[in-house]
Amino acid sequence: MSIEAGSKLQGKVTGITKFGAFVELPGGKTGLVHISEVADKYVEDINEFVSVGDEVTVKVMKVEDDGKIGLSIRKAVDRPKEDRPKNDRPKGDRRGGSGNKGQRSLSFEEKMSQFMKDSEERLSSLRKQTDSKRGGGSRK
């Protein structure tokens, strides 16, 4: 059986690591479901979602030239788009979300300008601290 990206298959979990689960596919080939592809929410411990011996439905995400097969359990489930969680990251995760609710979105140029300004202020402060530790002046 040929395994192609985009196809959905039944498989059996044969091993679990901290970064994902290995799934044996039809034809004896094995693929990896990365921990980020197990569920639609943040997964801290993969053992809470799958166990060795479980039968799972997976979607083939990619097949590498070297034979590695990338799989997804969460994308194998057909659900309407509106049922999918928008942002299920833990509170300390700073990726995504603007954090400035009620304010207009900044353009890339405005964001870059703000970043450069903040960066210059931090560098200036760091230089002052470093100079004061060295004695403040240049030495000959």
> pLDDT tens digit string along 77-87?
876 655 555 55
Using a cut of 0.85, tell me whether the model's pTM lies above it: no
CATH code for the domain defined by 8-76? 2.40.50.140
Please check the confidence at residue 94 and state whether its pLDDT lies above 60: no
- Can you list the alpha helix ranges (DSSP code H) found in the chain? 108-134
User: What pLDDT digit, counting tens, does each position of 39-64 carry?
Assistant: 888 988 999 999 999 999 999 999 88
Please check the confidence at residue 15 and state whether its pLDDT lies above 90: yes
Q: Which residues of 62-89 are buried (b: 16+ CB within 10 A; e: fewer)?
A: ebeeeeebbbbbbbbeeeeeeeeeeeee
Residues 6+ apart with CB under 8 A from 26: 1, 9, 10, 11
Cα 3 → chain centroid: 25
> What are the sequence ranges of the domains in the chain?
8-76
pLDDT of residue 115: 87
Return d(Cα 124, Cα 20) in angstroms, integer: 44
Please check the confidence at residue 4 and state whether its pLDDT lies above 60: yes
